[in-house]
Amino acid sequence: MVYYDQKWETMPLDDLRDLQLKKLKKQAHHVYQNQFIKKRFDDSGLHPDDIKNWEDTKKVPFMTKDDLRDNYPTGLVSGNWDDVVRVHMTSGTTGVPTPMVYSKNDLDVWTRCMARNFVAGGLKKSDIIQQTHGYGLFTGGFGFHYALETIGAKVIPTGAGGSERQLRLMQEWGTTVFTGTPSYAAYIAEFAIEKGIDPEKDLKLRLGFHGGEPCSDELRDRINTRLGYSAHGGGMRRCYGLTEMGGPITMDCEYENGIHLWADHYLVEILDPVTHENVADGQPGELVISNLSFEIMPLLRYRTGDNVVVSHDTCQCGRTHPRITKFVGRLDDMILVGGTNVFPSQVECILLNHAELSENWQLVVDEKKGLHSLKIEIEPAAGISVNEAFVTALEKELHQILAKKCPVEIKAVGSLPRFEGKSVRVVDNRSS
């Protein structure tokens, strides 16, 4: 097994836990220098000196996205502003952006976490990578780029879009690794076929590092086949991260049995979103993360709003750090339709289990005389025509799993939107 940081990546779990507690105590003192956070601690009756054991850490107040919005842009900085060398933030298209500011040391921690991920995912120095995550305010592009260079791999920093050129470069340079969102990977596969390029024969892609949006196992299987990753002996590795913790920070290793979270830098808790009690391994709960290593704007006990399942068993790769083994969905993305909770990721799992259907779909939520309804619009797979009996059976399956009627409308191939970045799967036409 090849590691980037073997000593740290395979550290016994008990030693990791001791290290985490030590770092959490130190970080609590550090963030206490920030006026907003100090007030939060004081209001909850906790002083950083009171944190002695794991039980005490449960008293550390939570932070949320609203805290970031309310304190935009620099209100949550606890480190020295003079040490800041870079700023990233979310696009802010749906409100106030979520910012992150970094010192040189913060960037080094981030780069190191990402370098571990790439090596765990099977990336080699000899690989040629087309890096299509956007370079700019979004954390993805630079987060990937610097780690890839650190490993010594060969990066072609194309950024997003320009699919014709992306395919041309893949052929000219013999690109072996492709990065970007899962929906862009699915789109590139479709576009290649349209252009008469067979990824398995005409391209050399063996690894894909895809993140920035949820990806079901079904979609990953399709990307592995369509882009030739499996045929070339590799596969797609899912990537997860969030601007609030620095950016993309975690990925699948080559065993693809869960996304490794680096416990020497991030403390992970899985909590019941209502009672805030820890849930057992294997049970879904809200992912709450503490940044143990950043110095400028670390957040402790940040409620991510992601509903996940985590395992603390040592992975087959020998890494001892916890793994996210399942994304149930973003609590934010969950839509409430007529009293029923629906996760778009759950819908994707059902749809992509059918080879007759393409990965181009959307969930339309409508309102008529105060009644809310769901509908799925989806294109069939290329060259396939689906009949009424298939649609009826699919509607029945959706009804059983979602506990909600959900008619399916088959659309013409090419009629639904394609995405070069994050996909938008829900069209909500309701007035409120």
Residue 145 DSSP class: H
Least spacing, CB of residue 255 vs Zn ion, in Å:
5
8 A C-beta contact, residue 417 and residue 354: no
CB of 314 to Zn ion, least distance (A): 9
Beta bridge partners of 427: 364
Residue among 203 and 253 whose Cβ is closer to Zn ion? 253
* Least distance CB 315 / Zn ion (angstroms): 3
> Which residue lies nearer to Zn ion by CB, 68 or 261?
261
Residue 125's SS3 state is coil
Tokens found for residue 44: 């909850």
Taking the complex as a whole, the smallest distance from the CB of residue 209 to Zn ion amounts, in Å, to 15
Residues 6+ apart with CB under 8 A from 326: 284, 308, 309
Residue 372 contacts residue 365 (beta carbons within 8 Å): yes
H or E, element range at 240: strand 235-242
Start-to-end CA span in the chain (Å)? 53
Q: Which is nearer to Zn ion, 123 or 402 (CB)?
A: 123
Interface positions with Zn ion (CB under 5 A): 253, 255, 315, 317, 319
* Minimum CB distance to Zn ion, residue 369 (Å): 52
How far apart are the C-alpha atoms of 261 and 270, rounded to whole Å?
Answer: 13
- How far apart (Å, rounded) are the C-alpha atoms in residues 45 and 25? 16
User: In the complex with Zn ion, which residue's Cβ is closer, 220 or 330?
Assistant: 220
Nearest approach in angstroms of CB 213 to Zn ion is 22
Is the Cβ of residue 153 or residue 317 nearer to Zn ion in the bound state?
A: 317
Rank residues 10 and 373 by Cβ distance to Zn ion and give the closer one. Answer: 10
* SS3 of residue 27 by DSSP: helix
DSSP 8-state assignment for residue 249? E
Shortest distance, CB of residue 283 to Zn ion, whole angstroms?
Answer: 21
Nearer to Zn ion, 199 or 241 (CB): 241
CB of 9 to Zn ion, least distance (A): 9
The two three-digit tokens of residue 199, written as one number: 């990824």
**Could you give the dihedral angle defined by the CA atoms of residues 196, 197, 202 and 206, in that order, rounded to the nearest 10 degrees?**
-160
Is-contact 410 386, C-beta < 8 A? yes
Which C-beta is closer to Zn ion: that of 288 or that of 315?
A: 315
| Partner residues linked to 100 by β-bridges | 88
Exposure string of 320-346, with b = 16+ CB inside 10 Å and e = fewer, is bbbbbebbbbbbebbbebeeeebbbbb
